[in-house]
């Protein structure tokens, strides 16, 4: 099974900060990585698929990059609406596996 | 507009069974793979299972193999999961989601979820 290690598990940041979250896959997953945002009591929302393709309607301050088995979600300028938990998901092979999540909190 | 609506959750005793349903609208259901994803209270997301358009391919996480069966009825635009031998660790919100493909598979639309509680 492919393991996905997400870091950090939490971070504190201020509005306007640049934030990066990383997922490392245990083996090659090509570009088969999704990023989701989830707010408390809400349904996960797809932000990025194919490692770097922005889902329709998602603000351009969100971006995704890939370097080998390392994948990064970047929020270029954190906004009040961005405080949430973020998850990555590898969809290269079953069983699909989510990262452990990163909670982005207000500093 | 795409809508996915789950139902069938509730309180069940350990060892019991439950069947969850998800009714889809706003898209051609029979053209898409579908999935179940769950989230235990206060925990992260866990992929449960996928099913192909014609049910010819199904995949599931090891922890539910032999206990959960994913199925669909394209005539009713519906996705199901039959859950048998339920355990306390199956307690979670269960989401159905639509799969699409572009540089890899992705889950683009999710339902609101239905809560399953396994407890005596």
Q: What are the pLDDT digits (tens) for A39-94?
A: 999 999 999 999 999 999 999 999 999 999 999 999 999 999 999 999 999 999 99
Helices and strands (DSSP H and E) totals, chain A:
0, 11
| pLDDT at residue B8, as a whole number | 98
| pLDDT at residue A92, as a whole number | 98
Express as a percent the part of chain B with pLDDT over 90. Answer: 98
Q: Omega into A8 within 30° of 0, i.e. cis?
A: yes
Question: Using CA atoms, how far apart are residues A79 and A95, in angstroms rounded to an integer?
Answer: 34
Residues of A in contact with B45 (CB under 8 A): 36, 38, 44, 87, 89, 98, 101
Determine contact, residues A95/A87, Cβ cutoff 8 Å: no
- Residue B55, pLDDT > 90, answer yes
Chain B CB within 8 Å of residue A38 CB: yes
Size of interface A-B (CB pairs under 8 A): 72
Q: In 10 A of CB A98, how many CB atoms?
A: 21
Tell me the pLDDT band of B100, cut-offs 50, 70 and 90.
Answer: very high
Using the structure block, give the residue that is written with the tokens 């795409």: B2
Residues of B in contact with A43 (CB under 8 A): 95, 110-113
Determine contact, residues B7/B96, Cβ cutoff 8 Å: no
CA B66, A28, B46, B77 torsion-angle sign: negative
Task: Name which of B59, B60, B110 is nearest A44 (Cβ-Cβ).
Answer: B110
Nearest Cα residue in chain B from A9:
B44
pLDDT per residue as tens digits for the range B33-49: 999 999 999 999 999 99
| pLDDT at residue B18, as a whole number | 98
Determine contact, residues B110/A43, Cβ cutoff 8 Å: yes
CA B94, B99, B104, B108 torsion-angle sign: negative
Tell me the pLDDT band of A107, cut-offs 50, 70 and 90.
Answer: confident
- Any bridge partners for residue B94, and if so which? B38, B114
Phi, psi of A63 (to 5 degrees): -150, 155
Buried b / exposed e along A12-29 (16+ C-beta atoms within 10 A): ebeeeeebebbbbbeeeb
């Amino acid at each position: 099974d492919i393991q996905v290690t997400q870091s950090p598990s939490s971070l504190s940041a201020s509005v306007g900060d640049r934030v990066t979250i990383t997922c490392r896959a245990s083996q090659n997953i090509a570009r088969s990585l999704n990023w989701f945002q989830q707010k408390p009591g809400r349904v996960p929302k797809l932000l990025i698929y194919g490692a770097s393709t922005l889902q329709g309607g998602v603000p351009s301050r969100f971006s995704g990059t890939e370097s080998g088995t390392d994948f990064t979600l970047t929020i270029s300028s954190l906004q009040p609406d961005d405080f949430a938990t973020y998850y990555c998901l590898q969809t290269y092979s079953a069983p699909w596996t989510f990262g452990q999540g990163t909670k982005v909190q207000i500093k | 507009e795409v809508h996915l609506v789950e139902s069938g959750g509730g309180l069940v005793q350990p060892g019991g069974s439950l069947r969850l349903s998800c009714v889809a609208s706003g898209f051609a259901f029979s053209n898409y793979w579908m999935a179940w994803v769950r989230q235990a209270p206060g925990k992260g997301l866990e992929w449960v299972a996928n099913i192909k358009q014609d049910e010819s391919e199904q995949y599931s996480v090891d922890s539910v193999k032999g206990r959960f069966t994913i199925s669909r009825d394209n005539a009713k635009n519906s996705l199901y999961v039959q859950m048998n031998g339920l355990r306390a660790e199956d307690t979670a919100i269960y989401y159905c989601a639509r799969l699409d493909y572009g540089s890899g598979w992705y889950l683009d639309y999710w339902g609101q979820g239905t809560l399953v509680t396994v407890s005596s």
